[in-house]
């Protein structure tokens, strides 16, 4: 197997922080020269897990509204929602790899900080994570009051994407809804549901899935089953990941099925570097459906597994989501996919 050489690559930065209140699971920036071109592309994988448990969300919605359709703005392969957070207007990255609300300290450094703890990178301490209370968060027709948020530095994503990023929006804020993610039409739909997961509005046409799978959900993080090279694997589904990720600890059968196209360097806050490989995921099967041509990186996921408390073999990001529309119902613990008509059944 011949790898394409990379003369000058920007480092990937992975952030991992484990402590009593919150965990920064993974913040990864990957840049590599495109094959045959001098132009660089950057890939972001952002996952953030807050383990503060809440009984419910303190939100309000206009009377009579049971269905929300929220535009998703695509920046690279990230999807953002227009939001107003304590009178700051900007974008929240829709990130199912984040449990709650994570804010960019650039815009909220004047809030009263409840706590501050060091976070650790691959080679040592790199920054602090703080906690603040937000008086008011608004997006679409939803308003949240007195919301706890983690505060950290997201400037590296903001600088690369050249847009104002207020933070990350995780699933816990919208867990009381049935969630339909349609990246091809750049929209997020939220349907109010009862405790059993049934829609309150029965006049709306139900989601017609080609495949429905029971899901494991831990702290509102979604885990899916898939197969590569005949091996059963456990994946985290992350809308904040611009590419798929495979653990470098996967079996030989899994790693051999990936066609490597290029490599880059992985560097933490110190001087040590390691290689990360970029390629195409072959022989991926979800339930009984083969999905081909998905891009992926291969890297170490040990810290991510430790943070989630779940052994995972990879992350399914944009290249998985753009195969169709995805319906998530956390109350029913189900995930359904309606594949694009151009996809082979």
Does residue 128 fall inside a structural domain?
A: yes
Q: What pLDDT is attached to residue 211?
A: 94
Query: Residue 304 is inside which H or E element, if any?
Result: helix 302-308
Residue in the block written with tokens 């029913």: 332
The CATH code of the domain that includes 81 is: 2.40.70.10
Tell me: the pLDDT tens digits for 268-285?
333 455 678 999 998 899
Residue in the block written with tokens 């017609």: 208
C-alpha 305: how far from chain center: 15
Q: What is the DSSP letter of 185?
A: G
Tell me: the pLDDT tens digits for 1-16?
333 333 333 333 333 3
Does residue 299 fall inside a structural domain?
A: yes
Tell me: the pLDDT tens digits for 136-171?
999 999 999 999 998 888 888 888 889 999 999 999
pTM flag (> 0.85)? no
Please calculate the CA angle 332-320-95 and round it to the nearest 5 degrees.
Answer: 65
> 306 pLDDT band (50/70/90 cuts)?
confident
| Domain that includes residue 158, residue range | 15-339
Mean predicted confidence (pLDDT) in 258-263: 91
- Residue with the bigger pLDDT between 98 and 164: it is 164
Domain count, the chain: 1
Does residue 5 fall inside a structural domain?
A: no
Does residue 6 fall inside a structural domain?
A: no
Does residue 345 fall inside a structural domain?
A: no
Does residue 10 fall inside a structural domain?
A: no
Q: Which residues pair with 26 in a beta bridge?
A: 47
Residue spans of alpha helices (H) in 38-125: 105-108
The rounded percent of the chain whose pLDDT value lies above 70 is 75
């Amino acid at each position: 197997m011949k790898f394409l050489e990379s003369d000058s690559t920007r480092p990937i930065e992975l952030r991992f922080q484990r402590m009593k209140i919150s965990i920064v699971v993974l913040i990864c920036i990957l840049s590599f020269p495109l094959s045959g071109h001098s132009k660089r592309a950057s890939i972001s994988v952002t996952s953030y897990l807050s383990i503060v448990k809440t009984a419910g969300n303190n939100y309000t919605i206009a009377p009579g509204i049971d269905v929300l359709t929220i535009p998703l703005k695509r920046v690279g392969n990230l999807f953002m929602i227009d939001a107003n957070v304590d009178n700051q207007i900007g974008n929240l990255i829709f990130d199912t790899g984040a449990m709650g609300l994570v804010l960019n300290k650039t815009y909220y450094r004047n809030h009263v900080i409840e706590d501050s703890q060091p976070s650790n990178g691959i080679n040592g301490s790199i920054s602090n994570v703080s906690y603040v209370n937000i008086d008011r968060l608004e997006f679409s027709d939803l308003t949240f009051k007195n919301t706890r948020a983690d505060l950290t530095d997201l400037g590296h994503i903001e600088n690369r994407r050249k847009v104002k990023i207020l933070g990350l929006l995780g699933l816990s804020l919208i867990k009381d809804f049935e969630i339909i993610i349609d990246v091809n039409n750049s929209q997020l739909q939220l349907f109010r549901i009862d405790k059993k997961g049934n829609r309150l509005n029965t006049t709306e046409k139900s989601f017609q899935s080609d495949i429905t799978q029971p899901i494991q959900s831990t702290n509102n993080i979604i885990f899916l089953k898939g197969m590569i090279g005949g091996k059963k694997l456990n994946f985290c589904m992350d809308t904040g990941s611009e590419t798929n990720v495979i653990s470098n600890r996967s079996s030989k059968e899994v790693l051999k099925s990936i066609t490597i196209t290029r490599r880059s360097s992985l560097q933490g806050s110190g001087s040590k570097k390691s290689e990360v490989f970029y390629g195409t995921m072959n022989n991926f099967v979800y339930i009984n459906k083969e999905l081909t041509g998905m891009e992926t990186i291969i890297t170490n996921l040990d810290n991510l597994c430790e943070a989630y408390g779940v052994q995972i073999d990879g992350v399914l990001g944009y290249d998985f989501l753009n195969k169709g529309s995805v319906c998530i119902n956390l109350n029913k613990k189900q995930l359904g996919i309606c594949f694009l008509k151009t996809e082979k059944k």
